[in-house]
Structure 1
Amino acid sequence: MNKIAIVRCEHFNAAHRLHNKDWTDEKNQAIFGKCNNPNYHGHNYELEVKVIGTVDPDTGYVIDTKILSDLIKDRILARFDHRNLNLDTEEFKDINPTAENIAIVIYNLLRPEIKPKQELKIKLYETPRNYVEYPY
């Protein structure tokens, strides 16, 4: 059977600071620039969650969009929306919350909820011009 992708788009707002605790303040500033602001800064993240698989002959779905929407709301938005990723989340306690790391964390939170035979892809826009994809 042919594979097809279904994509659910969501958004969330979150603050973060890019900072490596093992570096000096000067090195953090040189590498991360204004993203190293000690008072944090925020983004309006746009999230695309893509599930790839074959169509179930009984339902006509790869995955029910209501189920996918609820998974994203429960596992991602409830956790990260209107939060300071550095201070308010367990996931970024020891991980620098770059767009790359946020996408990987989102993938790891959703992957167990998606059927093993289905593929999962995450696209995260930090700005309208900058986004990451995982896995690539």
Structure 2
Amino acid sequence: MVYLTRLEHFNAAHKLYNPNWTPEKNEAMFGKCANENWHGHNYDLFVTIKGQVNEDTGFLFDVKKLSELIKVHVLEKLDHKNLNIDVDFMRGKMCSTENLAKAIWEQLAPHLPEEVKLHCIKLYETARIYVEYFGE
């Protein structure tokens, strides 16, 4: 089994806010992340796929094709967007990094060819905070 990782980058705004809670409870739970005027992150997205190396090409999968799949199914929907408002697959969900990583998996996995499998979505919200999701 070989693992291949592609790093991509996007910028997005969001806020953490539970509409069933009072503004005070949201602020107590989420602090500045509940700011009514939103806040943004410069996300780093690591997409790891796994499978067997093709003997004819020496590749697990063409990285240009992987990049294009990520661009079409993820980045074009997220980059320079408001996650709470602009992103259809985040509507009705708390826009946490954990939920975003899971949603990215759901957007990307169905579009990979059957010879490779999505192994991990690693999403850095900041240089010191990241989430890993393995589809479980």
TM (normalized to structure 1)? Answer: 0.94
**2:75 equivalent to 1:77:** yes
Number of residue equivalences: 134
CA distance in 1, matches of 2:78, 2:116: 25
Using the TM superposition, give the Cα deviation of residue 115 of structure 1 relative to its aligned residue in structure 2, in angstroms. Answer: 3.3
Q: Distance in 2 between matches of 1:119 and 1:19?
A: 34
Q: Helix, strand or coil: the match of 1:14?
A: strand
> How far apart are 1:21 and its partner, in Å?
1.1
Look up the equivalent residue of 1:93 and give its one-letter code: R
Q: Report the counterpart of residue 47 of structure 2 in structure 1.
A: 49
- Residue 129 of structure 1 corresponds to which residue in structure 2? 128
Unaligned runs of 5+ in 1: none
RMSD: 1.2
Identical pairs, percent = 49
C-alpha distance in 1 between matches for 2:31 and 2:21:
14
Give the 4+ runs in structure 1 shifted more than 6 A: none
Match of 1:22 in 2: 20
Q: Which of the numbers 58, 64, 67 marks the counterpart of 2:65? A: 67
Question: Any gaps of 5 or more consecutive residues in structure 2?
Answer: none
1:29 deviation in Å?
0.7
Distance in 2, Cα, partners of 1:95 & 1:83: 16
Partner SS for 2:89: coil
